[in-house]
Structure formats: structure tokens, C-alpha cells
Chains A and B, each alone.
Chain A
Amino acid sequence: MTGDPTLEPIAKGNDVALCAAGPWTARFAPVLEQMVADAEKLCGSRPNIFIDVSQVDKLDTFGAWLIERLRRSLTHGDVEARIAGLSANYSSLVDEVRRVKAAPAADMTTVSIIGMLDQIGRSVAGFGTTLIQLIDMLGAVLAATGRVLIRPKTFRLTSTVHHLEQVCWRAVPIVGLITFLIGCIISQQGIFHFRKFGADIFVVDMLGVLVLREIGVLLVAIMVAGRSGSAYTAELGSMKMREEIDALRTMGFDPIEVLILPRMLALIIALPILAFLGAMAALYGGGLVAWLYGGVDPEAFLLRLRDAISIDHFVVGIVKAPVMAAVIGIVACVEGLAVEGSAESLGQHTTSSVVKGIFFVIVMDGVFAIFFASIGM
């Protein structure tokens, strides 16, 4: 009963029978396809030919279709090639595949220079659209804030606190650890190079200014974009995919008010706190390395730090934090709401949320640097 399927031409008087035998099933599909192609080449133009399937002991859709394909290629004009010896069990299957029309070809995407240029053009144009979407979202969030200020009862405190826990409280350990390590590294590198000039102590100036003005807030913002921005996009995106956002809207709730405002607010509160904690951790790490590696004792470190930095440095750093939080939040929400039906789209938009979030954070940092330089801070 088992064995390989076969297809052999046998002469029967004037006619030629193509005798199919054995199991014509999916398992043997590659072999069967080759046999059918060979038979088509061999007998394609011959008249008086029929297909004998009486020896076939197992047939499924694959086998039935290949027999049907063979029958079609043996058909010339109005004379249809016959299929003989079909058992009653399989006749409905053969009838089923007989109704199959030619398959539509898959549209292939071809790679070409023009296609690549087209892609670049679309990306550039897409950047303009992104900016408009961001401004649109900013406007919508501000309008929602206005509505909530008029009717404070509609403010979602529980939701805000929940998100605050997620983005602030739970981020403290990792933010603290990373900024601590960065502080250590800056300090170590500073001492290593400044020592050549006998200027070890100036590492404190460098550490203080760098951490408080730039690194503290920038690093924390980048971490938050990766940690919370991506989470926002994924949450909103999967809600969008499952029509939860549409459900909210039909119940008369504004998704911006219910979903986005609490998230934005949580982020705007969280980032300055995290930036402050991060700056402290970095200074602590830097001080520790300066003491253990550079021989600057803590007392001298603090004395020097007090001389080197003023409250201005701290203000410059911390003022940037809420703005960066707003940028990260808006980018994440825009991307989340742009998710379409597929898992792939969710992945793309989450990636894009992090990439764009970090990009805009750095752009904002540059803008702030120019601003503070021109007002002399």
C-alpha cells in the first residue's frame, strides 16, 4: 500500500493512458509536481490521451490538483482529457479542484534605483508630516488640559498616579545605577587626562558642570524615551489594534483626556525628579571615583564643587526636563495612535517612537544650549 507515487504512460490500442499510482498526497508534492511536469512535456501535444487514476490509493488536495493540472494541459481545444477509474470516495474532491480558476500571481516588490529614490523622497516628505502630527497632538493635549481645568472633576487622578508609579518610581533603580556609573566613568577619565597637567582637582568642575547642565538630564531623558516612551506606544498601539480606543470614543470619552493626558502629566512630573536623582547619583559616583582613584578626599571635593557650580547650572539642567518629557510623551502618543492592524505595524511604530523621541530630545537640548548661551546663563 505504501511506497512512492508513480505516473507512467501505457499504450492501450489507439489511446495512451497515463497511469497514476500510489499515494498522491501532500507529503509527495515535490516529487509529484516534477512527474506531472515531465508528463506534460512528454505527452502534451498528443491526442487520444487519458489519465487513469484507478491505482491511486490515497488522494488529497495536492494530488487532486496536480491531476487536474495535468488534465488541463492535456486538453486541446474542445476535447477534454478524461480522468478514468476515479473511485467514488475521491470524486467530490476532484470536482472541487476542477472549479479552481487560474491563480492570481503574487505581486512582487522589485528593488530598483527608482524604488530606492522613491523611498527616500517619501521619508523626507514623511518627516514634514511627522512635525505636523506632533503639533496637532500638542494642540489636542493643550485643549484637553484646558477642558480639564474648567471641569477639574474630569481629571483622572488614579490613572495619573498609576502611570507616575510606572514611569517614575519603578525607573529609579535603573536610572540611579546608570547615572552613577556614568558619573564614575566621567570622573575616572577626567582624572586620567587632567593628571598629565597636574590639574586633577579640576575634574570636580568638569563633573559638576557636565552632570548638572547636560549629561544628567539628557541621559535620563534618553532612558525614559527608551523605557516609558516605548511602553506608551505599545500600550496605545495595542489598544488601537483591538478597537479599544474606538470603544472609548463611542462611549463619549475623549481618548486624549482619558488615555493621553494622564500619561503626559505623569511623564512631565517624573522626568525632573528622575533628572535630579540621576544628577545626584552621577555626582556621588564621580566623587567616589575621585576619592578612591584620584585621591581627592570628600571634603576637598565638596569645597571645590561649591566653588565651581552655581544654582544657574542646576536650573539650566532641570528647566529642560519637563520640556523633554513633553516631547517624549507627544512622540510616543502620536506613534501609538498611528498603529494599524498588524503586529508588524506595532513593532515599527514602537521603534519609531524611541528613535524619534531620542532625536527630538537631542534637538531640544541643542535649542536650549543656544538659548542659554544667548541669555548668558
Chain B
Amino acid sequence: MATETSDAIIRVRDITVQFGVTRVLDGLDLDVKRGEILGFVGPSGAGKSVLTRTIIGLVPKVAGRIEVFGVDLDSASARERRGVERRWGILFQQGALFSSLTVRQNIQFPVREYLNVSQRLLDEIMVAKLGMVGLRPEVADRFPSELSGGMIKRVALARALALDPELVFLDEPTSGLDPIGAGDFDELVRTLQRTLGLTVFMVTHDLDSLYTACDRIAVLGNGKIIAAGSMADMQASQHPWLRAYFHGKRARAVMG
């Protein structure tokens, strides 16, 4: 079991992503270990979302190699790829809930497509997932346009968790939430990680999230990972951007 917890669930090697002549990621390496919550930070426009979208296959890469669950996504057959996709869940920055489906249908959608189970079990699992993300079953029949921003994030997380994935990608999960809501969300991610044994890849700008929720932090700059390690490592680093980020006025307010 010890070897299994330490091995990498995502292994990114030397990837390069280019839009026209701008090189966004330039020979980037990154490992995400099983069972950890990795916080991923970097200046705006550094390519954090691009890396996330490259790993999940939405952005094509020029060079490099990406392995998720030990499967090389380039050489994987369609069947293997679907197998991988079933084992991860993704929370998009804006939620990306299907606007013409209710909350119930949004959460049940992936389950219904992948598993042949009864409507009763679908409903029960939906309520269980809503409960896990801290929502009451009464919201089940509302449409996404009738939800608040925080609720959309929670429902989107419930949908990402619908198939009990082993790995979740969270793209700025706490942006647009009030500090209390954001704090709750961090707590929620922590709890879910403990209960479900999740591995979490979290792109964030929220220092509170980094401080309270993340086991490890990776920093992106100039298309590469400039630092990766614990919060203490980050604070000890002499890199100018890291110093500005982790020793700025806001950071001092968070860390007291």
C-alpha cells in the first residue's frame, strides 16, 4: 500500500504547447502523487488552465508525454481513453453545467451514460452527492440559471464526483465565492479527499486554499514548473515571484 500511495497518478514529461508563435508551456515536467491535493499557482496568463486542459486532452500539445493512471494518453486506444475519462472528474471554472438540464439530470448524466442502473439508485446517488457537496435535495429540480454562483460550483463538483472518480481537476474552485463560502469549499475538498481517497489537482489563486487545503504546491512560470513542494518550501524560496506571492501583503494577512 505504501508504494501505491507514493506513485504518480499523473506524470507529465517535457510537454510543449504553442498557440501560433507564442509558446505557452515549454518542456514542462510535473508529477501528481496518488492521494494528494496539489495546488497549482502562477501569475495570470502563465498557462495554468492551459496545462489542465492539455492534461485532460482539450488542448493539443506540440511535444511531450502525458500519463494518467499509467496510461499514455497519446498511444491509448479509444477504449483505454474512455476508461481513463471515467476515472477522472473535472470542475470547470464556470461550472459548465448543462443549461437545459436540471441539477438532478446534470448529476445523473454521466452515471446514466456509463452505468446501467435503476432510476431509484440514480436518484439516491444524486441525493448522496448533493449531500456531500453540502446542498439540500430540494435544489434537485432547479435549472442552472436558477442557482447562485456558489451553488453552481457545488453542483458542478457533485457532477464531477458523480462516478466516484479517483482524480479530480478543479479549475479555480473558489473564485467568485465569498471568503466564508470559499473556506467551506476548501473544507469540503479536504473532507471529500479523506472520505473518497481522491487525488486533487487544483488550479487556484486563493492563498487560503493553498494554506488550508493543499498538501503540495507547484508554481508555474515561463512555461515551466519553477518550484514544487510544501508550503514551507514555498515560503523559504528565494525566487522573486514566489517571494512576492507568498510574502506579499495578502499572504501575510492569511498566515498571520
* Interface, chain A (partner B; CB < 8 A): 25-27, 29-30, 33, 60-62, 65-66, 69, 89, 92-93, 96-97, 99-101, 103-107, 241, 340-345
The distance in angstroms between the C-alpha atoms of A340 and B100, with both chains bound, is 10
Residues on A with C-beta less than 8 A from B164 are 25-26, 60-62
The distance in angstroms between the C-alpha atoms of A105 and B164, with both chains bound, is 23
Give the Cβ gap from B72 to chain A, nearest Cβ, in Å: 22
Residues on A with C-beta less than 8 A from B141 are 104, 106-107
Residues on A with C-beta less than 8 A from B127 are 100-101, 103-104
A344, B124: Cβ atoms closer than 8 Å: no
Residues on B with C-beta less than 8 A from A344 are 99-100
Give the Cβ gap from A58 to chain B, nearest Cβ, in Å: 10
Residues on B with C-beta less than 8 A from A61 are 125, 128-129, 132, 161, 164, 196
Residues on B with C-beta less than 8 A from A100 are 124, 127-128, 131
- Comparing B38-46, B60-68, B74-82, B111-119, the segment that makes contact with chain A is B111-119
> Which of these, A26, A99, A103, A241, contacts B163 with CB under 8 Å?
A26
Report the 9 A-B pairs with minimum CB-CB distance, sorted nearest first. Answer: A341-B145, A344-B100, A342-B99, A60-B164, A103-B123, A342-B100, A103-B127, A92-B195, A93-B195
The distance in angstroms between the C-alpha atoms of A111 and B129, with both chains bound, is 31
Residues on B with C-beta less than 8 A from A345 are 100
B124, A106: Cβ atoms closer than 8 Å: no
B143, A104: Cβ atoms closer than 8 Å: no
A106, B104: Cβ atoms closer than 8 Å: yes
Besides A33-B121, A106-B104, 9 other A-B contacts (C-beta < 8 A)? A61-B125, A61-B129, A61-B132, A100-B124, A103-B126, A105-B123, A106-B141, A241-B145, A345-B100
Residues on A with C-beta less than 8 A from B114 are 26
Q: Is B27 an interface residue (CB 8 A)?
A: no
> Which of these, A96, A104, A341, contacts B195 with CB under 8 Å?
A96
Residues on B with C-beta less than 8 A from A96 are 128, 131-132, 195
* Interface, chain B (partner A; CB < 8 A): 98-100, 104, 111, 114-121, 123-129, 131-132, 137-138, 140-141, 143-146, 161, 163-164, 191, 194-197
B124, A69: Cβ atoms closer than 8 Å: yes
Residues on B with C-beta less than 8 A from A26 are 111, 114-115, 163-164
Chain B interface mostly helix, strand, loop or mixed?
A: helix
The distance in angstroms between the C-alpha atoms of A76 and B91, with both chains bound, is 41
The distance in angstroms between the C-alpha atoms of A96 and B134, with both chains bound, is 11
Chain A interface mostly helix, strand, loop or mixed?
A: helix
Give the Cβ gap from A105 to chain B, nearest Cβ, in Å: 7
A-B contact pairs, 10 of them (CB 8 A): A29-B117, A30-B115, A33-B118, A60-B196, A100-B128, A103-B123, A106-B123, A106-B140, A341-B144, A341-B145
> Which of these, B98, B117, B128, contacts A30 with CB under 8 Å?
B117
Residues on B with C-beta less than 8 A from A99 are 131
> Which of these, A97, A105, A342, A343, contacts B128 with CB under 8 Å?
A97
B121, A29: Cβ atoms closer than 8 Å: yes
A92, B194: Cβ atoms closer than 8 Å: yes
Give the Cβ gap from A296 to chain B, nearest Cβ, in Å: 56
Residues on B with C-beta less than 8 A from A27 are 115
The distance in angstroms between the C-alpha atoms of A105 and B141, with both chains bound, is 10
Give the Cβ gap from A202 to chain B, nearest Cβ, in Å: 55
> Which of these, B116, B145, B194, contacts A342 with CB under 8 Å?
B145
The distance in angstroms between the C-alpha atoms of A340 and B124, with both chains bound, is 30
Q: Taking CB as reference atom, which chain B residue is nearest A36?
A: B121
- The interface centre, meaning the residue of B114, B140, B164 with most chain A CB atoms within 10 A of its CB, is B164
The distance in angstroms between the C-alpha atoms of A92 and B198, with both chains bound, is 14
A341, B137: Cβ atoms closer than 8 Å: no
B116, A104: Cβ atoms closer than 8 Å: no
Q: Taking CB as reference atom, which chain A residue is nearest B105?
A: A106
- The interface centre, meaning the residue of B127, B146, B194, B195 with most chain A CB atoms within 10 A of its CB, is B195
- The interface centre, meaning the residue of A25, A93, A101 with most chain B CB atoms within 10 A of its CB, is A93
The distance in angstroms between the C-alpha atoms of A233 and B197, with both chains bound, is 47
Q: Taking CB as reference atom, which chain A residue is nearest B166?
A: A60
Known: A26-B163, A61-B164, A93-B195. A340 touches B145 (CB 8 A): yes
